[in-house]
Structure 1
Amino acid sequence: MKRADVVIVGAGQAGLALSYCLGQIGIEHAVLERGRIGERWRSQSWRTLRLLTPNWLNALPGSPYEGGDPDGFMDKSAFVASLEAYAGRWQAPVECCVEVLSSRRTGSGFVLDTSAGAWSAKAVVVATGHCDRPMIPFASETRGEPLSLHASQYRSPSELPPGGVLIVGASSSGVQIADELARAGRRVTLSAGKHTRLPRRWRGKDIFFWLCRMGFMAQPLDALANPESARRQPSLQLAGRPDKADVDLATLQALGVELTGRVRGLADREIAFADDLAAQIAAAEAKQARLLAEIDRFAGGERPCRREPVPLPSARPERLSLTDGSIRTIIWATGYARSFGWLEPLALGADGELAHQGGVTSVPGLYALGFRFLRKRDSNFIGGVGADAQAIAAEISLYLGRNGRQAA
């Protein structure tokens, strides 16, 4: 049986950031990764994906951005290479292709069963990320024709069957995939539910410049009026395009994308949509207007021109047949759920999620990192995970010290 004081599960940006922080305070640990470093970036995203956040915002602990394009957007292959370089620079003790099958507390520590044998640890950190198990509504009803896949399975327009594409979901992934497919000449229908519209740039700066400068991204969880509601907010309709252009419902309509409301049902090989597109657009416009007004008050000076609202299409399909050949592919940009079946039930809440307060669970020695709103708004952002990693490293150091292991 292999041993480590701390086992970190996951070698994405969260797990590597914590490895650096633990190394800095002399805590012996291991990072177990079921694939390769940054595996989800490699295998669960489309080929042309770029980070949503500008390069200057993507620093990890001990590794500030020092490149020549701070306002650019790194593509996924470059980001994976940067994670590998980061792990190599700090000699992170990563063991790749080791899947953790179960973790259970025994006495004063944990036993982890893995695909490469058993491990024991005094503390365990779940750093598997917020995007774990793809969610596909009506999965059983969409088997067979047309092709039905989750956004994490989409790679490029050329790898889809010829013909029309229905995309369900208008958050970050949905609008970016719709944009790519429309530019490739595909007929695209986008089913838009709740979404968050923001400009890529405002007052001559990237939108994240303002969100960070105002303290919005670092806003702690206890400062939010309704943290659970905040966790359920959809991701921003943004894209990391080299031309820094907007990608939203307005730009998609200009490319010929047909908009409709959220999916309300699927029966008899026909998909039905709710008549709520106008309400969803209005809610997104109101939220955007409030935030941009806050930025304007913060920045002062002359207020920029008002951003044009998303035009409401005059005709919207209420139903689409899945048998007449008009739709050959459905892409479900409908988010993710977490899968914690490998953890002991005491660690989970009634909803099956890992129960924690700021990354500290009720199971002594068990911690979480890299989840959305773990401690603050940007907890699952590349540039936000570092502060959380430092805090969790401090918690682990205290825990090990109280349990007979003094950190160096």
Structure 2
Amino acid sequence: MTTSPIPRHSVVIVGGGQAGLSLSHGLKAQGIEHVVFEKHRALHAWSTQRWDNFCLVTPNWQCALPGHPYAGDDPHGFMKKPQIIEYLAAFKASVDAPLREGVAVQQVRPAPGGFLVRSSAGECFAEQVVVASGGYHTPIVPRLAERLPASIRQIHSADYRNADQLPPGKVLVVGSGQSGAQIAEDLHLAGRQVVLAVGDAPRCARFYRGRDVVDWLADMQYYDMPVTQHPLREGVRDNTNHYVTGRDGGRDIDLRRFALEGMDLFGVLQGLDADGDTLRFAPRLAEVLDQADRTYNGINASIDKFIAERGIDAPEGSVYEPVWQPAAERATLSLTESGITAVVWCIGFAPDFGWLDAPVFNGRGHPVHNRGVTAVPGLYFLGLPWLHTWGSGRFSGVARDAAYLAERIAQRRSALGAGGPAREKPTELQLQAALA
């Protein structure tokens, strides 16, 4: 049993990314003592899980972290990886959070008056806990990867940096969400032969009727819509992000045009035959391309309606017409005959909240909350996609969510009294017993 006094904190924040630091900014403004535990280095994902040519897909003006809005000379441009890292480093310095880097949280569980937190640095007590570690923890790689020939180089999108790290030959990119589409483009522009297993991701235009689509949607207040008002409600959290790019000043990603230029498109990857060589795909390539285009045209149509209703002077609208159609659906591909030597898995990440021992998860292991507030008093989430709005997991919306939770945390402290009334404050003996 632990015999030394257990350190106590008003708030423990788990995760030192933009969400955790944004909340630290809010708690400092409220004068609330807290600590931020980060198992790596603060904001590490932006430098360790992005490829060399990575750039934002949202315009720079949407970088609005608390107290640190974008202040450069290109608000409608798209910061590249070095600029993003510089922006975030300045944000970290401005917040000056009580940060404990290299401290991995191993368990959080309710205790009398709050929570016990076990970490690689020891145990502590927290009156309130905020999980700000995001939802992208474990790279998803299907089990069929284990059966691919050892000669094929396999990496996840989290580890992709550039075309040169892959051996000569064709590259199979699996998945066409934001990462998959952009990595396929990166390889394509580098002169590599790409086979793309297209998923169900939607797409949108970069520019339409004289402006960035993001600018139009901001004017239409789409980014202010709470999840409770979205037609899909919480179901929108499962949606794949639209693919588009900010590369070279921003443009559409049109997979059909890539096909005209030599990229080989297939449907969703479904499996590998017993021969260990034949890949199987869902024969739905035309269907998924058509659906992506319907979304593209649907977003543009909503912009057309907004312009017409307000009498806005803007260039004429248009409807996207396919520039390429698959000649036939192909359900199989031989690795050997096609010359594929590498695979880049771009099918996302799975959340891992196994260290959080609290009844706040649904049957799929996803946290249940209302704007980050769970049913367990004093336990919160921050930085998840669509936690409250579209921008909740992005630079554009996390400040609003962090300010809201900082206020809720302050209200709870006030309701319990400064530090909590005697019946709420656990004794050292109670905490030692809970740790036993």
Partner of 1:103: helix, strand, or coil?
strand
Q: In 2, Cα distance between the equivalents of 1:400 and 1:145?
A: 58
Q: In 2, Cα distance between the equivalents of 1:317 and 1:161?
A: 26
Q: What is aligned with 1:119?
A: 124
- Contact 1:168/1:330 (<8 A) preserved: yes
Deviation at 1:366, TM superposition (A): 0.8
- Contact 2:78/2:249 (<8 A) preserved: no
Q: What is aligned with 2:28?
A: 23
**TM-score, scaled to structure 1:** 0.95
Deviation at 1:122, TM superposition (A): 0.8
Q: What is aligned with 1:296?
A: 304
Code of the residue aligned with 1:57 in structure 2: it is Q
Higher Rg of the two aligned structures: 2
Q: What is aligned with 1:238?
A: 244
- Contact 1:146/1:322 (<8 A) preserved: no
Gap runs ≥5 in structure 2: 1-5, 421-436
Q: In 1, Cα distance between the equivalents of 2:256 and 2:249?
A: 17
Code of the residue aligned with 1:109 in structure 2: it is G
Code of the residue aligned with 1:299 in structure 2: it is I
Alignment of 1:100-249 (within 5 A): 100-138=105-143, 139-142=145-148, 144-249=150-255
- Contact 2:216/2:303 (<8 A) preserved: yes
Label 1:260 to 1:396 Cα distance change in 2 as closer, same or farther (>3 A).
Answer: same
Q: Does 2:289 match 1:276?
A: no
Label 1:255 to 1:27 Cα distance change in 2 as closer, same or farther (>3 A).
Answer: farther
Q: What is aligned with 2:382?
A: 369
Q: Report Cα offsets for 1:94-129 as digits up to 9, x if no partner.
A: 111111111111111112111122222111111111
Deviation at 1:315, TM superposition (A): 4.3
Deviation at 1:64, TM superposition (A): 2.0
Give the one of 78, 93, 100 matched to 2:98.
93
Code of the residue aligned with 2:242 in structure 1: it is L
Deviates more, 1:139-148 or 1:101-110: 139-148
Q: In 2, Cα distance between the equivalents of 1:136 and 1:203?
A: 40
Alignment of 1:308-387 (within 5 A): 308-309=321-322, 311-324=324-337, 326-387=339-400
Give the aligned length: 407
Q: In 1, Cα distance between the equivalents of 2:300 and 2:419?
A: 49
Deviation at 1:294, TM superposition (A): 0.8
Code of the residue aligned with 2:349 in structure 1: it is Y
Q: What is aligned with 2:18?
A: 13
Q: What is aligned with 1:401?
A: 414
Deviation at 1:130, TM superposition (A): 2.7
- Contact 2:206/2:251 (<8 A) preserved: yes
- Percentage identity across aligned positions? 38
Q: CA RMSD in A?
A: 1.8
Code of the residue aligned with 2:189 in structure 1: it is R
Partner of 1:389: helix, strand, or coil?
helix
The structure carrying a bigger helix percent of its residues is: 2
Q: In 1, Cα distance between the equivalents of 2:287 and 2:59?
A: 31
- Contact 1:259/1:316 (<8 A) preserved: no
Q: What is aligned with 2:294?
A: 286
Partner of 1:196: helix, strand, or coil?
coil
- Which 4+ stretches in 1 moved above 4 angstroms? none
**TM-score, scaled to structure 2:** 0.89
Deviation at 1:188, TM superposition (A): 0.4
Gap runs ≥5 in structure 1: none
